[in-house]
Amino acid sequence: MSKGTINVSVDNIFPLIKKFLYSDHEIFLRELISNATDATLKLKHLANIGEADGVEYGNPIIEVKLDKEKKQLRIIDQGIGMTAEEVEKYINQIAFSGAEEFIEKYKDKDGKDAGIIGHFGLGFYSAFMVAEKVEIITKSFKDEPAVHWTCDGSPEFTLEKADKKDRGTEIILHIAEDSTEFLEESRISELLVKYNKFMPIPIKFGTRTETLPKPEDAKEDDPAPTKEVDNIINNPNPAWTKAPTELEDKDYNEFYREMYPMQFEEPLFHIHLNVDYPFNLTGILYFPKMTNDMSIQKDKIQLYQNQVFVTDNVEGIVPEFLTMLRGVIDSPDIPLNVSRSYLQADGAVKKISSYITRKVADKLKSLFNNDREGFEKKWNDIKIVIEYGMLTEDKFFDKAKDFALYPTVDNAFYTFSELKDKIKDSQTDKDDKLVILYASNKEEQHSYIQAAKDKGYEVLLLDSPIVTHLLQKIEGSEEKVSFVRVDSDHVENLIKKDDEQISKLSDEEKETLKTFLDGVIPKEKFTVQLEAMDSNANPFIITEPEFMRRMKDMQKTGGGGMFGMGGFPEMYNLIVNTNHELVSEILNTKTDKKKERLVNQALDLARLSKNLLKGEELTAFIKRSYEMIK
């Protein structure tokens, strides 16, 4: 037996490792199983290239064993193993020098932005975050004796021969008093499923009972036979590790259910990522059915590194608009810090992000070209992602022109170029600007939509929460195009033509009417405007100017700049149609009381069509209406 002292100058390195090495102690198990996997795969590689003479690779597994009584957790592999010399080198020298360098660099920080993983052995020392003593019993695949290494969390260690006969490594953790949660079977099972669900080597954790088919001669009441089998917690060959040619749609859907067992709806479609230059990346992204609530969608994509789960916060790797998708990305080339949980921003990540954006755009274009009808049916379920991408990623915005759709209130779908061709003759104003009309709520804005349709105009239905921001961007990229919501002005003013209506009222009559209306209609809510319109148009129409409304909408969803419109009181224009007979009747009514009653009734009808009449005011309107028809 030999004893030794690890040559480090930092005092009490273990408490520092425990505090700073990882921000989350639970990942010790992930690190130890990752090491066991690496050791197994190294043996496989050596066997494949003929460097492991006389060694049969077989079907190795990694086993996790729990002994609550002895307060021990063991991780056993059948991998490459280590000789005494290798233990001395990799555990006592390289690992500690790496740990020391790490501590020196980051001991005054919180550890969250800690250095790049890759110091061989640092993963192993995460064991000391939860264990008061750690043992390694290991036998190399080479014809050398097994060794037993022990360390109690001080710089002293012992190294002696062991009687282990089979190749591989066993790590024994003597769990510390402050970490007894890791002696609970449910906790270990939870961590194995979380981090190691798709590791490439089978991982055994206990056994489970499997029900066998009944024998043919069994009676109906006979219980089905059972047997105890290894409880393998992982799928070593997940779908993303296979070539797309090996998979069918049902395979992709089965893998989706494996990743998201609580999702009962099938994904709309998937995108298989597979690139090996200039970086390595594989994965599968799924478009689930979306809602307009962007806040609840994110953090469903899982990031793996060589099939080891790292994080479900993929911000920075995946463009923000795609964080609403689901699926998995696996890349050994994404630089991660020592806790494997925080990204270092660099060129590789930017290239990966651009690649994913391009792949998604290409897939959407392909779906649109190959099955437009099917794409249109899915549009409402995927539009929030596409519109968000158009808003936030310029390259995606350019590509999306080929497949982004603009639906109408009548469920017709146009690309932007198709839409322009469709409406250029009827919706170009006197200044040669193309005016695109839209509604955000088909029910609430029905009367305004109908007025526009009666004029032969096409009305889009754009109801995403970010649509206001997107319209600003489209207007900035297109010459002589503007979007106008149907309730932002009366129909004659939405698309101004050269021909103007002549008012039936004289200037004097208009002045008299305006003075009366200003005395009755609350100034803090409405700005009264007299307009000559078609006599069949409504007498009173409430509108909200496009610019003011957009500023408010943009501030609600982030934006709006210095204007701060979100805090402004609601202000509307009340447009009074001077050519409507009710307006003439109001003007010619003798008593002010009756005149005021007509104005209030007409105003409330306009408010009702704008969905602004509620509560006490709605009750008063109903009561007044009944009195008028007695």
Number of H helices, E strands in the chain: 19, 22
Residue type, 618: L
DSSP three-state, residue 234: coil
Residue 462 token pair: 């754009």
Residue type, 77: D
Residue type, 371: D
Nearest C-alpha neighbor of 535 from the set 577, 477, 486 = 577
Q: Is 262 annotated among the ligand-binding residues?
A: no
Q: Is 77 annotated among the ligand-binding residues?
A: yes
Q: Is 625 annotated among the ligand-binding residues?
A: no
Nearest C-alpha neighbor of 303 from the set 285, 288, 289, 321 = 285
Residue 453 token pair: 């349709």
Q: CA-to-CA distance for 516 and 83, rounded, in angstroms? A: 101
Q: Is 23 annotated among the ligand-binding residues?
A: no
Beta-carbon contacts of residue 87 (< 8 Å; ≥ 6 apart): 136, 138, 147, 149, 159
Q: Is 280 annotated among the ligand-binding residues?
A: no
Nearest C-alpha neighbor of 624 from the set 609, 605, 610 = 605
Beta-carbon contacts of residue 348 (< 8 Å; ≥ 6 apart): 279, 333, 334, 335
What angle (nearest 5°) sits at the alpha carbon of residue 460, between those of residues 455 and 463?
140
Q: Is 324 annotated among the ligand-binding residues?
A: no
Q: Is 248 annotated among the ligand-binding residues?
A: no
User: Is 101 within 8 Å of 119 (Cβ atoms)?
Assistant: yes
Instruction: Sort 460 into a burial class: Cβ within 10 Å, 0-12 / 13-18 / 19+.
Output: buried
Is the CA virtual torsion 237, 243, 247, 251 positive or negative? positive
Instruction: Sort 59 into a burial class: Cβ within 10 Å, 0-12 / 13-18 / 19+.
Output: exposed
Q: Is 56 annotated among the ligand-binding residues?
A: no
- The edge-to-edge listing of strands for the beta sheet with 168-175 is 2-5, 156-162, 146-151, 131-139, 168-175, 72-76, 62-67, 203-211, 226-232
Nearest C-alpha neighbor of 389 from the set 358, 367, 412, 416 = 358
User: Is 576 within 8 Å of 583 (Cβ atoms)?
Assistant: yes
Q: CA-to-CA distance for 101 and 110, rounded, in angstroms? A: 16
Strand partners, 73: 66, 173
Nearest C-alpha neighbor of 471 from the set 357, 568, 551 = 551
Q: Which residues are annotated as a binding site for ATP?
A: 31, 35, 77, 82, 97-98, 169, 340
Q: Which residues are annotated as a binding site?
A: 31, 35, 77, 82, 97-98, 169, 340
